[in-house]
Homo-oligomer: A and B are copies of this chain.
Amino acid sequence: MKSTTVLLTDVSSQTWIEETLIDAVSHPDFSKETGWFIKKQQLHGGTSEGVDLITIHNGALTLSVLPTRGMGVWKGMYQGTPVGWDSPVKAPVNPAYIDLSERGGLGWLSGFNELICRCGLISNGPPGKDRGGNPLESELTLHGRIANTPAHFVSVTLDPEDGGWIRLTGKVQEAMLFGSQLLLETTLETQLGSNTFRIRDRVSNPGADNAESELLYHINVGAPFLEEGARFEMPFAEMAPRDPRAAEGVKEMNTYLGPTAGYAEQVYLFDPVADEQGFTPALLSSKDGGIGFLVNFKRSTLPCFTLWKNTQPEVNGYVTGLEPGINFPNFRAEERERGRLKNLDPGDSYETEFEVSILNNSNSVDAVRQKITKLTEQAPSVIHSDPHSKFS
């Protein structure tokens, strides 16, 4: 069998499949494995009305992807362990119900509950008036528009190579007359039976004018990976707290509190170090090291890493963010000043790549830890105890 592609959405050809199930019954030739499936449905009711949902199950790992929310990954499950977090926003929210400008530009928070949520493409970071860049894009809202822009193209490919790969492709565009044009083409892939999925994105400028871009992956994890005594580890060259609040916790940066009433978020900004293949492992592991959530990102494509600690009480959202990005989530004007915006000429593009692995035993957690320790021994690991102008 060769690769098979099923087109789920293509607005340009007015193609859209409301519901379908792709599995070993519909595609018996794909693999010897039979437990996998890809399910497409549309949610209804509440603010989820009209949200497209794609569930991918590779036989071991389940992921739910939201084309309506910019191809974000809502949540996952690996052999019974939930992967994600519990936001006060319980279900996927159709962007039709979100006003990004409300609450002083913080409307984005009304829909935020994903495991992986892109922040971009024009900007990310706090809202405000940025007098640089395209004048039509001076009124920035928190974390930009891409997570609230529905994908106009979605397809799934079954590739039988190496026992079977499932690949989900989506396209999401930010564009309007006189505005910057930015096209996201994303592929999420996972091998049958694997504990890993990989995301490869390309952001291009199909317009005729130069366009600035920011992009950060807000990868958010709660229990059971996050708990009191859970640890964060990653090899890095340099790190600084974002602000005085984060500076308070620099020494305890790599461990976590349990759910804590009154906790205010702490954010740390890193210059990551990569292994010989160019990948940086960022690991969140449980206190006893029995399970781990690993983000392995290609450093050359994602040179900035942000750690978001938000160990609020569970009902408020007990969560930490492992956030590789092309930039840090400072206000865009600051990132422009520090040279961290992508400046895309017409036709230009950039790519990013990372993979996420769920480690469900102490051996696999230990192996990653040893690797990080080794890389750390070779790395400068400069820790600023106060905010540093290089970072924020």
Contacts and interface: CB of A to CB of B under 8 A. Distances in A.
Interface stretch (A90-98, A240-248, A351-359, A383-391): A90-98
A334 to B, nearest CB: 21
A52 B177 CA distance: 23
Nearest to A102: B101
A46 B175 contact: no
Contact of A12 (B91, B181, B317, B346): B91
Interface in A68-113: 68, 87-91, 94-97, 99-104, 106, 109-110, 112
A112 B9 CA distance: 22
Contacts of A137: 103
A152 B91 contact: yes
Contact of A152 (B15, B41, B45, B68): B45
Interface stretch (A205-213, A275-283, A322-330, A370-378): A205-213
Copies of this chain, count: 3
Interface string A150-162: 1111100000000
Contacts of A176: 88-89, 109-110, 112
Interface string A7-25: 0011110111010000000
A151 B50 contact: no
A208 B153 CA distance: 40
A344 B91 CA distance: 24
A182 to B, nearest CB: 10
Chain B CB within 10 A, most for which of A41, A109, A138, A314: A109
Chain B CB within 10 A, most for which of A49, A96, A99: A49
A106 B102 CA distance: 13
A315 interface: yes
B88 A179 contact: yes
Interface residues of A, dominant DSSP: loop
A212 to B, nearest CB: 15
A154 B315 CA distance: 23
A195 interface: no
A136 interface: yes
Nearest to A173: B90
Nearest to A313: B208
A349 interface: no
A316 to B, nearest CB: 5
A176 B317 CA distance: 9
Given A48-B11, A91-B11, A207 B315 contact: yes
A251 to B, nearest CB: 26
Nearest to A264: B178
A47 interface: yes
Interface string A202-235: 0000111100000000000000000000000000
Contacts of A315: 181, 206-208, 346
Interface string A140-156: 01000000011111100
A87 B209 CA distance: 15
A109 to B, nearest CB: 4
A348 interface: no
Contact of A11 (B16, B43, B87, B154): B43
A1 interface: no
Nearest to A68: B49
